Structure 1
Amino acid sequence: MAAQLYKTESGRLFHAGAVAIITVGLPARGKTHVSRSLCRYLRWLGVSTKVFSVGNYRRDRMGTIPNDWFDPSNVDALARREKIAEDCLDDMIQWLEQGGGQVGIYDGNNVTEDRRREIHDKLADHNVHTLFIESICTKQEIVYANIRSVKISSPDYVGWDPEEAVKDYTHRIERLIEHYETISDTGLPFVKLLNVGEKIIVNNVLGYLQSRIVYYLMNLHVQPRKIYFARTGRTLNETSYKGDADLSPEGFEYAEKLKTFVLNYRAQNKGAGGNPEEQERPLAVWTSTRKKARQTAQPFAEAGFAVRQHSVLTQLNPGEVDGMTMAVIKEKYPEEVKRSRADPYRHRYPRAEVCPLSFFSPKKDMATYILIALMNV
């Protein structure tokens, strides 16, 4: 998680109150991907976040239903689906008011202006701030790829022939197109994502937390890439943070072998994922600012690869427990151990940075990893 700067009396961050993110758009436009990705990001920030999926509610209550149930002219089916959508919205409101939540993500189509205004007004009555995120896709190849890669593997199409599933889902989309209304009410706070981030439009978005959400959406991508995590080499002093020791001879040998392994692995798997250009992307190496990380990455730099240092990857300072075993910490700081167990995210040991004890061990800490990323640069 990111370091939490402070905690309000209500437990919510940034004095933002309760926030509801409402997805908008036709099926197969990436709404669920945005919802889940944004949920992970906000949780990483320490914000209590949960996705409420209208589709999941519908499957739980109705199971697999025939395609004509998605026809807006089917009055009975429409009434049942609207009831399920309303129950999902009510559950989100209850979670925000009584369940300790701060950001609820309402994952549904919400394709009409009337429905969006209805949702906005209902949330406003409960003192919940809204932010609409509309996913628009004008490139049919993206929609088709999304249907093939995600939708036909959903619970709605278990046991279906893939080609028949594609046809059925495409027909489902066509039924909604004639009723779809893009967001035009500038009184609503909204973000429009065109072609999965190719263009972004922001309107009437206020507040620090909402601005962080917009910033994340501006950097969201769906292009496949690979990320490798690797341990740094062993140092001359494995137990001390303050010492910032050099790599040992064994550590330098490991660094050379790591470079050889990664380069050979990339060469052997070139184009294996079905994308012949995938392995042509430059290899970038991200490390922390610690000496052991920089020295582990040195063979990559000598081979001509970009090596970048980022302070956010640096091991957290354990303070006065530096170099101690867990047994010694329990003996010397019994009260601190209790506080850590009661609130591990916000607790810190004397003179330490905020660091959950579960992540710290003198011989194995999360910050001894270097990040090697395949990037478009």
Structure 2
Amino acid sequence: MDEALLRTLTPKVLGILCRRGADFAAAEDAVQDALVEALRVWPSAPPRDPRAWLVTAAWRKFLDATRAETSRRRREDLADAEPEPGPASTVDDTLRLYFLCAHPSLTPSSAVALTLRAVGGLTTRQIAQAYLVPEATMAQRISRAKRTVSGARFDQPGDVATVLRVLYLVFNEGYSGEVDLSAEAIRLTRQLAAVIDHPEVAGLLALMLLHHARRVARTAPDGSLVPLAEQDRGRWDTRLIGEGIGILQAALARDRLGEFQAQAAIAALHADAPTAEETDWPQIVEWYDELTGLTGSPVVRLNRAVAVGEAEGAAAGLVALAELDPSLPRHTAVAAYLHERNGDLAKAAELYAEAARQAPNLPERDHLVKQAARLNSR
């Protein structure tokens, strides 16, 4: 049984049912029932046309459910609408599903879960494992999201920026459980890039590939974090780096700069440096200036302060940092790093310890504790 094929076909089949007039929530339930049936039947009787088989099975599941709940007239109309057996429509509704799952009325967490279920083809159990929540909790979240978008018109244009934000959230979840969400986000973004010609879609795909290329070098065998400057660049995936840079260059050539393209440009400069010492920090500062202009994000300005510290010296980085709100996440950790680079080891050790207490996760906390202990031991 090719589960990867089923996951690829899921959004196509769901889109066909919705285009035939099925309500999104009911259609999604019918598709899931058809997938269960496929897992039972296909190992012994594989179909010649898997998509056509799934469309027929899902449509019949939908009709069965509808007949049990609607009036006689509605049942007859739907029954008459069932197409004759044959090849499934080749129209790809995947893009519409992306927009529907990133509906503005959904919370970010619900949009991510619904995208993974409806477009990614993951089971509720797999999504729950990835987010470390009980399966029942995730099922309720997905059900609420499906009810929310059920009344949305399926033929309205969607917001590309919202879709990209959802995919970026999926990517940043990384890996947990049996599903690698970073790899899943790349797969979905590749799929999106195949159906929509947009430089920011390409920018996001390039950003994901460039970050993913460094993944194996980010942690030591004991699970501890390895800072970028200390990573073994020989472990970086040069194939992904080359692909990401190629995609980025083509997107930038269209002269429609967006935040994901700017982020990818920064990642490309890091990936392209043979050693940490050869990193082109002045150009990275310039890209952070572009990114600040695009987003106005205080987090971007925090990262810019680090880049300024590398390009112009730690004192200049501290001046840039002083302009920002100290309550920003990781502000204290950045301050510790810049104070250490500036030679104030006692202040840096104090700030590393404080940053460790504020750390959002255990690996980051352990890393900051080790930095404080390293300076205190001097």
TM-score (norm 1): 0.25
Larger fraction in helix: 2
Q: Say which structure, 1 or 2, has more relative contact order (CA 8 Å, 6+ apart).
A: 1
Larger fraction in strand: 1
TM-score (norm 2): 0.25
